[in-house]
Structure 1
Amino acid sequence: MKVYNEKELGKALHDDVDSIEIEGDLSNKVIRIKATGKVAWGLLIGCMAIAIPLVIVTVATSGTATIVTSPALVGVMAPSIATLGVGATFSAVSIAAGATIAAGGVSKISAGVAGLGKLRQYKITKNGNGITLKMK
């Protein structure tokens, strides 16, 4: 399955798709997220319960364009931003928000966090202008 944005990737992770193709800048962010160590991963996951409701409407309607402007989100995600950088952190939140939407909405935040967590179950292979995620 080919995905073009964080929302689609979140849905694919939620749905346990065996093979996911990603191109462009999103592939670089996924590589960075996936390479995160256990401590940084724990910080990222720990912040999701607060961050997902702040972005879910934005992700559902227009992607990630306005997420970076939210001072509340920047404050909540500061530890992850310090480790992953702004782009990868906000992509991670958007992926989790996409998985939350796929699971049924804001009441399913734990499913969204679990969806992002599934990213660690995939192996990355590079292919031309992007990557392919394959279930281990």
Structure 2
Amino acid sequence: MHQVERAIFDLRRGLPVVVIAGDTRVLVQAIEGAIEGAGEEAVSRLAGLAGDTPALVLSRHRLAILGEREARGAARLPLPEGTGRRRLVDLAFGIAPEVAMEREALYGRLNDHNRRYLSAKSERAGHLLDAVFDGDQGPTARS
């Protein structure tokens, strides 16, 4: 429980957190931490740390604000290489036309554990994770 509380504290401070579920590691960054006071290079650096194609994850609460009233879970938008700070803001706050895409195209595939984790953390932390920047870091090393 201490680790979860620490992760919430770090996310609120704008720091990235690695969530581990079995052999999968996911780098999570609250969108506000990824964009506030950061230059374009900060987003690229975070994408580099992710080690895989990063994505913007929008909670069902954020989707409802963006006009997707039938959302039952989080949506995951893969971000192409070179996505900058301005683009993240546009997507997270509904300024970009892609947010109005068909539901099937908008919803990515989070594994069940990550979907439950993000949903539970969002609801318990006052919707702390309405929009996060994440990247699958692949299998964890075993010693």
Q: TM-score range by the shorter chain?
A: 0.3 to 0.5
* Pair member with larger Rg: 2
Question: Which structure shows the bigger proportion of residues in helix conformation?
Answer: 1
